[in-house]
Structure 1
Amino acid sequence: MNIEKLLEEKAPLINKAVEKYIPRIFSKKALIFKLNPPRYSYNIEAINKAVAEPVWEFLDRGGKRWRPTLFLLICEALGKNPEDFIDYAIIPEVVHNGTLMIDDIEDTSEYRRGKPCTYKIYGLDVAINAGNAMYYLPLLPLMENREKIGAEKLAKIYEIYVQEMISLSLGQAMDIAWHKGLANADEIDEEDYLQMCAYKTGTLARMAAKIAAVLADANDELVEKLGRFAESIGVAFQIQDDILDLTGEEFAVKKGGRGQDITEGKRTLMVIHTLKVANPKDRKRLIEILKMHTSDQKLRDEAIAIMQKYSSIEYAKNFAREIVKKSWKDLERLLPESEAKEKLNAFAQFLIERKI
């Protein structure tokens, strides 16, 4: 099953749905003004310059659009026509891109998807505001279709959204505290790392799955199981992202060189495993390099070599495969046999084996 082709097919449909609710150029006819008319003035020029332009400059850089594709696959696996749900699939995708825009500021990153970060182009003020706007603008489909969705479903969806957005902030707090030395990062274990990932990267996949399941009339048990499965995909995706940061040549070019996570001092699964099994000399040296926050490629390569010495990259790859395999086993019996079910499983495998 060609998942890359599936993602390529879905991306323009998702982009079109995003544009329906967040136009490239706002006018007085924009849906947001229909749902929430301004009392005094539209100020279209300001909104276009400080919201539409930076948002679309960022979205047009690409991205895999895998979260909305997961959303649509879940609707299909539950027997629904995915085309009927595409407007709602933009929720996790736009929120995700908003988090990246803010994340780049928090990490003082230079590049995102091969171009200077948004704050480098438009300034901190515009980037922070645009990134925050991306947390809320994709909720417009829920407001537009509130009567069609119904009050009970709508309440469940908003509760899922709020829970996951809180989790997102907690995960980011952990990540920042560890790589800035605000909390003792040298003693964290795999469970600590996995919880950070479940909060940070797992949360938007979980949001996508649970909102899709609620809209597709799944019962509470199935909503939770689909959420857990999606969370495992999100965690595995993060692990693979961390692996590619150390090993992926094409991936590294887009990010500004191999080992960006080393520069940021991040405690990835590979770092945690190495610190656990390495001899005292190698353990001490790896911690030293991480605390330097260095951009020196020789030092970053030295840190990578230490992790490779203890087979930590292979350990992480196997770990990612296992958590997805286990969560699929828990979910599989609850889904009816269908092509969509097989696509969902193949989709998960693709995300953890990808090269970019």
Structure 2
Amino acid sequence: MTGYQIDDVPSMEIDDEFKQILKDSSADSAQVDLMSEAIIAVDESDNELGAISKVEAHHSSGDLHRAFSVLLFDSNNRLLLQKRASHKVTFPNVWANSCCSHPLFSESEREIKDALGVKRAAIRKLKQELGIEEGQVPLSDFHFITKMVYSSRMNEEWIEREIDHILIIKADVDVNFNENEVSEVKWVDQQELEEMLVADVEGDGEIAPWFRCIASRLMTQEWWDSVGDSDKLSKISDDLIHDMGDVSHMLSYAEGAGLNVSIKEVKPLVERRISDSLRASKHSTLSDAMMHLVDGGGKRLRATLPWLVSKAVGDSHSGLLDIGAAIEIVHNFTLVHDDIMDDDDTRRGLNAVHIEYGLPTAINAGDAMLAIAFERLVLAKGLDNKDVAAMVNRLAWMVRRVSEGQQLDIEFEDRIAVSEEDYFEMIEGKTAVMFLTCAEIGSRMSGADDETIQCMADWGLAVGLCFQLMDDLIDVLSDSDTLGKPAGSDLAQGKRTLMVIHALSQDDSQGLADLKAVLGKGDSATQEEIDLGLKALADLGSIDYARERAEMYHSKAHSCLDRLPVNPAIKALRELTDYQLKRIS
């Protein structure tokens, strides 16, 4: 393979889709060839999962993989930096540490003992990128310091998601860089590096996000003082994986990904947390019942929302995925009990839990899920005791408000007079509060200021209200296959949606009579009666009225996002704001 002085570079076959993506990129043929390299996919604990091509690991939502970053110092304690070539597929034209790349999926570079695999990979890449001979950087002179996990998006197409092994070596070397990899090098002392970190440089010549993480968050004075001293370097070495979160905002020209890609980045990580929690019971029937709706799929909006918000307004970390998992478990608990109370037989195209496992087990599963959600919450990474107490209090408040909203929903079915104010109080508790809580917690745990936290809480509330209004509209405007439950079932159950409340306030007419005839009739309602009731909602202007209110909250949510500083992650929040509206537009 181009530029390598080794006999065997493991590679993987790239499918036609990736070949076209690479062809459409601005990278040259040599860089395209390198994207077929087989590198090491890992889990969050840096355990090897298998081989993955470099292109697959970096494209779209990417996959977590092993990487290394070399900090090479000379005898004057100056650090070697490289500016990545314009030919690079990912992050061209940025200043980075001495060498940063990936160990290959080969026997020698997969070895984890004494970090030998990443050290061998470092020697290989120092030669390939910078022309530094192996004899000048012997294996024994490399010191493993620590690891960090981070993600950084360049644009919709390309992302870095790495567990980065940081290595230090002190050596006087001869640099003859490969212009296909590197456009420029320079040696900097501590003061010069600090000046680079605070310089207001955007675009060509700015600092790579991963190197900024190392230099500004990890690289203490002790690191500088320890360079060249094996004993001191051994003392600062640790086995930690420092959680940097998503650092896309550190690159001025970074472009955010859309909602689907942004969710896909962390959805498997959240779902693993959910499954680990719900599968922990030794009672398989209980575990299966709790997992029934989770296994049925779902977009995981609530589960990923704390993470998505934190990226948009501050710093993110993996503890937000634990919080999201806890909220998603609560959400699924409410669905299990909702289906019992509403006497719904199906959910997400599956039998409801009480149909599949029986009523007693369904009730028990819901109760267990609520307890497990709080277990998941208190185990969240990156939270101190004060944070945990605040999160428990806020999640408990959310559950209480959801229960209050559900109680109003139950009582409305037997009440003749339900006002719009009553309805909005109900949906705020039953639906919107969960979005509000996700947004508020995500911004609070990101370190945002009080004004931003309130802004995001307002956004979450507006999105949640719009979401429920649109959900009510979808029930009357979609078919049963799309819904995963009978179309118009809310009418037959007597649900007091905004459309129904509006229609009941109109003057007497045949349409109003048709609506009243089916409202609350339950299983005895015929399809013809349901269809007449749905037609009445349209004829009485009630569907348009509800849509107008949904659009009002949609606009309010966007106005909240307009108040935020520019950040690439806001793109996903805007798409989420539009999500329900587009389903029936």
Query: With structure 1 as the length reference, what TM-score do the two structures score?
Result: 0.85
* 1:149 partnered with 2:383: yes
1:194-245 CA-to-partner distances (Å, cap 9, x unmatched) read 1110000112112211222222122334323322211221221111111111
- The 5 Å alignment of 1:94-105 reads 94-105=329-340
- The 5 Å alignment of 1:246-261 reads 246-249=476-479, 252=482, 254-255=484-485, 257-261=486-490
**Post-superposition offset of 1:251:** 5.1
* 1:354 partnered with 2:573: no
Question: What residue in structure 1 maps to residue 307 of structure 2?
Answer: 72
1:139 to 374, 377, 380: 374
2:278 to 6, 16, 22: 22
CA contact (8 A) 2:313 2:567 kept: no
Following the alignment from structure 2 to structure 1, what is the Cα–Cα distance between the partners of residues 411 and 536? 24
Q: 1:220 to 1:158 in 2, by over 3 A?
A: farther
Question: What residue in structure 2 maps to residue 269 of structure 1?
Answer: 498
1:231 to 442, 461, 482: 461
* 1:299 partnered with 2:529: yes
Question: What residue in structure 2 maps to residue 48 of structure 1?
Answer: 284
* 1:240 partnered with 2:496: no
Q: 1:156 to 1:331 in 2, by over 3 A?
A: farther
CA contact (8 A) 1:14 1:90 kept: yes
Q: Relative to structure 2, which stretch is displaced further, 112-121 or 95-104?
A: 112-121
Question: What residue in structure 1 maps to residue 61 of structure 2?
Answer: none
| Letter of the structure 2 residue corresponding to residue 325 of structure 1 | S
Q: 1:295 to 1:190 in 2, by over 3 A?
A: same
1:13-67 CA-to-partner distances (Å, cap 9, x unmatched) read 32122123333x64xxxxxxxxxxxxxxxxx3xx2222x1111122100122111
* 1:342 partnered with 2:568: no
* 1:204 partnered with 2:434: yes
4+ runs deviating over 6 angstroms:
none
Gaps of 5+ in 1: 27-43
Query: What's the secondary structure of 1:121's corresponding residue?
Result: helix
1:62-113 CA-to-partner distances (Å, cap 9, x unmatched) read 1221112222210101232355522221121111011000111111111111
Aligned-residue sequence identity (percent) comes to 28
Following the alignment from structure 1 to structure 2, what is the Cα–Cα distance between the partners of residues 126 and 309? 43
Question: What residue in structure 2 maps to residue 109 of structure 1?
Answer: 344
Following the alignment from structure 1 to structure 2, what is the Cα–Cα distance between the partners of residues 322 and 267? 20
Query: What's the secondary structure of 1:201's corresponding residue?
Result: helix
Question: What residue in structure 1 maps to residue 516 of structure 2?
Answer: 287
CA contact (8 A) 1:328 1:345 kept: yes
1:171-210 CA-to-partner distances (Å, cap 9, x unmatched) read 001100111x1xx3x4222221111100001121122112
Gaps of 5+ in 2: 1-256
Question: What residue in structure 2 maps to residue 158 of structure 1?
Answer: 392
Following the alignment from structure 2 to structure 1, what is the Cα–Cα distance between the partners of residues 389 and 455? 20
**Post-superposition offset of 1:329:** 1.7
Query: What's the secondary structure of 1:226's corresponding residue?
Result: helix
Question: What residue in structure 2 maps to residue 57 of structure 1?
Answer: 292
Q: 1:196 to 1:298 in 2, by over 3 A?
A: same
Q: Relative to structure 2, which stretch is displaced further, 337-346 or 100-109?
A: 337-346
* 1:222 partnered with 2:456: no
> Which protein is bigger by CA-based radius of gyration?
2
**Post-superposition offset of 1:282:** 3.4
- Structure with greater strand share of residues: 2
Following the alignment from structure 1 to structure 2, what is the Cα–Cα distance between the partners of residues 306 and 244? 16
Question: What residue in structure 2 maps to residue 88 of structure 1?
Answer: 323
Query: What's the secondary structure of 1:277's corresponding residue?
Result: coil
2:422 to 178, 192, 201: 192
CA contact (8 A) 1:190 1:272 kept: yes
**Post-superposition offset of 1:142:** 3.3
Query: What's the secondary structure of 1:136's corresponding residue?
Result: helix
Following the alignment from structure 1 to structure 2, what is the Cα–Cα distance between the partners of residues 251 and 355? 15
Following the alignment from structure 2 to structure 1, what is the Cα–Cα distance between the partners of residues 462 and 398? 15
1:248-303 CA-to-partner distances (Å, cap 9, x unmatched) read 12655511x21010111101111112122343553344223203224411100000
CA contact (8 A) 1:118 1:127 kept: yes
**Post-superposition offset of 1:325:** 1.3
Query: What's the secondary structure of 1:135's corresponding residue?
Result: helix
* 1:178 partnered with 2:421: no
Query: What's the secondary structure of 2:569's corresponding residue?
Result: helix
Following the alignment from structure 1 to structure 2, what is the Cα–Cα distance between the partners of residues 287 and 223? 44
Q: Relative to structure 2, which stretch is displaced further, 9-18 or 315-324?
A: 9-18
Number of positions where the alignment pairs a residue of Structure 1 with one of Structure 2:
328
Q: Relative to structure 2, which stretch is displaced further, 235-244 or 216-225?
A: 216-225
Q: 1:71 to 1:295 in 2, by over 3 A?
A: farther
Alpha-carbon RMSD across the aligned residues, in angstroms, is 2.3
Question: What residue in structure 2 maps to residue 32 of structure 1?
Answer: none
* 1:315 partnered with 2:545: yes
Query: With structure 2 as the length reference, what TM-score do the two structures score?
Result: 0.53
